[in-house]
Structure 1
């Protein structure tokens, strides 16, 4: 009976969350939809896995730059713990590469069948050899095709299964101690490690260390392909980590190997992050196509933010910023006046939420009022809504649609990489738009991605998902394994997010007009309708698929454009 009432409780839960004041809009005239862009550039994408962050995000951002991203058919992709059809994916890549203008390729998808599979090293040396041969063959047949490949160093935490779950904590300590001993050779740490090795089955330790050894060999083979000009650019990302651990040893060895060559440092980039890597590669390609190098002024909500080491990150926020700017071939400048856009980074913590948040709102409002293009990264150390700046922007009616980018999802690297990429793609494309319909369409496309970030990164991840997970756990349903409760939970999530989209649409912060420069001069635009498609892509609540469709209208005009 307890679980029967659970779904009624969930539906009512949609109504009890925070509600902001609705705003009655002014007189508006809808802008006619422009025809679909005639894409002149095709990118084929082998994603890291089938999650929206690795697929939809890339394709939707590409539309802003008039780039068509082509994804593999859904039936050969992975689905949570079901690995992708690697053989079919390799065939698809070979076929689609014949008329593509560029390729973004996840090596882990082709070798292992997805990110989760790569954490258990499902692929073999034979798989690696096959992929190396495939990339070489594609290059030989189409040497003019730029191949942007990326590979991921596995996360610090051992993959969870029935054999390893009880040893995860000890294995994490083992990994950290191995790196600390490698760095400092402290006798106390050596003794701790010896004690740990007695508590963990040897098979688990061997499998864990072999995972990184195989990954090291895979990355070395890929670097050789860069040296042979088979791969145009290679990004090696590091999955969730800490300041110490076996992944950091692999990273340092790769740094050393790359530094021995004169040309490799310009073609091989090591970065912290995973899910956003394909997206940032897209930003690099878009900037290159537009002959554009973004000039970025970085500012923070408080003086401690750049030096903060956030969860799942091996280093400071500022270091991550530097890496992500490098990934899109951007350059940091010293003043806002020199910049194409401002990257404003808020780092929320329990200690600073009362002192920093009000001033952060004032700073953001000032920058927007002064006409600067602002990309906002909204981080929370504890992944809570109370530490983020977004709800204060809503309550203070700050013009949300003036932002050119927003991100606050999952890890620091995820968010920073996404915001920089969206801002880069938008500012690179804007000068190309010469007609009013083209300008309006660009703003509409960018606003749809921006709206998706508001609804996903804040409304869902900070407000809906935490409450939803508590309810699921209360009735003994695992949010990471919904099983037979997937369809019912998915239906409830859809209903809640529809409600949240109405809540955003009718907030004054979202309805406030946006001033856009056109051939006829400055005009004011406002969002007057918002529809969303949304669902849980996997049988868990960790992420959602969310695609907005909005209507832009001219404010105070009786002429239709």
Structure 2
């Protein structure tokens, strides 16, 4: 099976992860050449990408397309570029052309409802975000709450007075343009030019302009009778019409992996039954940071996205999903509350890990999704997993970024793992499993924190500049190898491929590396 993927951007989460999951399932994944893709704030070569899609499509069994990459040149380009609406919309015509020429080729598309970052930081945003980001976020929240009936006129007027009119108008104009692209994507789905559309919400919340736009898009989907996802008893989606499937839920960087898993499941004629287990009683009702609904709903949405069904323990599930539920603190893990958190959660996590071990012993396939904290693993859970669980026998693991990112990627790996029958596929599974442990726990929880402390002490900065990149990458690689040494089943057998460690966007937030067997 050969699948084409036009990714959200060039970061490893959107390129390396899908490729590694494809290798587990024995699928050939075709990605664009690197020089055509975006590079941080530099947009991709949209016209050349459209030509690439047209050229490879006849050789594919399925195609996954990120609309941002095709229309704007990538995720960040969709936030900062000045391309007018007409130009962005015209680039989507390539999807119509491909479908006209290859009507039987499944085309799955996804697009992100533009976020409003709650930070005075313009790294991934227009330049004025460095000064007015938190105020723009607050105004977004107030405007949506006012529309829903709250008396906030004076508060909104006072906040508007603090933001330059040109900055506010630019933000709103960009959102209007991007909303037009989302509407055009709905039109593609209704016209049958694409077979499935995911409209995900990046860094979302219950209120805000993004949530307001999501309601508008949902209303158009209802008017068009697109049917949004309605699973039947056997897991097959049905809607009011057969033109295509629309999925709407929080997420972004995991969508490429989830849709790849969906295609793989459809190719083998399987809708995997997945039974969730939640660590903390009642914790499944907590809303994780950057999301708009309880984590139980996140789990259900991601299971539907990969083409699976939610199962119960007595339904002979194909996969178990053990979820470390969100901490009520709704923030990244911090050593200042480590002792208190340990006391609050230890017994529940211990019981969850015992259950994982029992399921493994009975021959069941288990995925662990750690969404206690954003941007890194729960150290207490990792301590217990290392002590009690055969890590190399897990069907998947995730603990990175948002709850949706973690759950969607871990589920995608689990689905691929069900198809890993050859030695090469099993090695590919172990490689991605170790990659998750090394990155989500070793890097995000341990090494990244240590790197920032080291940089502050030696250079007085929290991020490396160009003169430090080589040295800091070598330092990170050494410390990541030390983390592998702490993982039973992997220690002494695997290592970071020498010289492969890099910082894709020249910052510590994300890392890239390759793994090889010793």
Q: Does 1:178 align with 2:139?
A: no
* Residue of structure 1 in register with 2:434 after alignment: 451
**More deviation, 294-303/78-87:** 78-87
- 2:79 is aligned, of 115, 119, 139, to 119
* Residue of structure 2 in register with 1:381 after alignment: 373
- Tell me, yes or no, if the aligned pair for 1:530 and 1:549 is still in contact at 8 Å: yes
* Residue of structure 1 in register with 2:495 after alignment: 531
The offset of 1:57, in angstroms, is 0.5
The offset of 1:250, in angstroms, is 0.7
- The equivalences for 1:317-332 within 5 A come to 317-332=295-310
* Residue of structure 1 in register with 2:392 after alignment: 401
- Tell me, yes or no, if the aligned pair for 1:380 and 1:387 is still in contact at 8 Å: no
Post-superposition Cα deviations, 1:228-265, rounded to whole Å, max 9, x if no partner, equal 11111111111112221110001111111111233442
Alpha-carbon distance change, 384 to 453 in structure 1, aligned in 2, over 3 angstroms: closer
- Tell me, yes or no, if the aligned pair for 2:455 and 2:463 is still in contact at 8 Å: no
- Tell me, yes or no, if the aligned pair for 2:107 and 2:196 is still in contact at 8 Å: yes
Query: What is the CA–CA distance in structure 2 between the aligned matches of 1:474 and 1:337, rounded to whole Å?
Result: 55
- The equivalences for 1:35-114 within 5 A come to 41-114=1-74
- 1:312 is aligned, of 271, 274, 290, to 290
- The equivalences for 1:482-561 within 5 A come to 482-504=465-487, 507=488, 510=489, 529-533=493-497, 534-536=500-502, 537-550=504-517
Query: What is the CA–CA distance in structure 2 between the aligned matches of 1:544 and 1:310, rounded to whole Å?
Result: 24
The offset of 1:348, in angstroms, is 5.3
The offset of 1:70, in angstroms, is 1.0
Q: Does 1:130 align with 2:130?
A: no
- The equivalences for 1:2-41 within 5 A come to 41=1
The offset of 1:121, in angstroms, is 4.3
The structure with the largest alpha-carbon Rg is: 1
* Residue of structure 1 in register with 2:333 after alignment: none
SS of the aligned residue for 2:468 comes to: helix
* Residue of structure 2 in register with 1:411 after alignment: 402
Length-normalised TM-score, structure 1: 0.81
Query: What is the CA–CA distance in structure 1 between the aligned matches of 2:32 and 2:11, rounded to whole Å?
Result: 13
The offset of 1:336, in angstroms, is 5.0
Query: What is the CA–CA distance in structure 2 between the aligned matches of 1:348 and 1:137, rounded to whole Å?
Result: 44
Query: What is the CA–CA distance in structure 1 between the aligned matches of 2:221 and 2:460, rounded to whole Å?
Result: 47
Query: What is the CA–CA distance in structure 1 between the aligned matches of 2:37 and 2:357, rounded to whole Å?
Result: 43
* Residue of structure 1 in register with 2:221 after alignment: 258
- 2:352 is aligned, of 348, 360, 365, to 360
Query: What is the CA–CA distance in structure 1 between the aligned matches of 2:401 and 2:176, rounded to whole Å?
Result: 28
CA RMSD in angstroms, aligned pairs only: 2.1
Q: Does 1:168 align with 2:127?
A: no
Alpha-carbon distance change, 363 to 482 in structure 1, aligned in 2, over 3 angstroms: farther
- The equivalences for 1:194-273 within 5 A come to 194-265=157-228, 266=239, 267-273=245-251
Higher strand content, 1 or 2? 1
Greater relative contact order (CA < 8 Å, ≥ 6 in sequence): 1
The offset of 1:421, in angstroms, is 1.1
Post-superposition Cα deviations, 1:42-64, rounded to whole Å, max 9, x if no partner, equal 11111111101000100110112
**More deviation, 357-366/314-323:** 357-366
Length-normalised TM-score, structure 2: 0.88
Alpha-carbon distance change, 90 to 383 in structure 1, aligned in 2, over 3 angstroms: closer
Question: Where has structure 1 moved over 6 Å in runs of 4 or more?
Answer: none
Query: When the two structures are aligned, how many residues end up with a matched partner?
Result: 481
- Tell me, yes or no, if the aligned pair for 1:225 and 1:231 is still in contact at 8 Å: yes
* Residue of structure 2 in register with 1:30 after alignment: none
Query: What is the CA–CA distance in structure 2 between the aligned matches of 1:337 and 1:370, rounded to whole Å?
Result: 15
Query: What is the CA–CA distance in structure 2 between the aligned matches of 1:230 and 1:324, rounded to whole Å?
Result: 24
**Can you give the 5+ residue segments of structure 1 that lack an aligned partner in the other structure?**
1-40, 512-526, 552-561
The offset of 1:129, in angstroms, is 2.7
Q: Does 1:391 align with 2:383?
A: yes
Query: What is the CA–CA distance in structure 2 between the aligned matches of 1:385 and 1:326, rounded to whole Å?
Result: 25
* Residue of structure 2 in register with 1:301 after alignment: 279
**More deviation, 412-421/132-141:** 132-141
Post-superposition Cα deviations, 1:172-206, rounded to whole Å, max 9, x if no partner, equal 110111111122x222x222111101111111111
* Residue of structure 2 in register with 1:19 after alignment: none
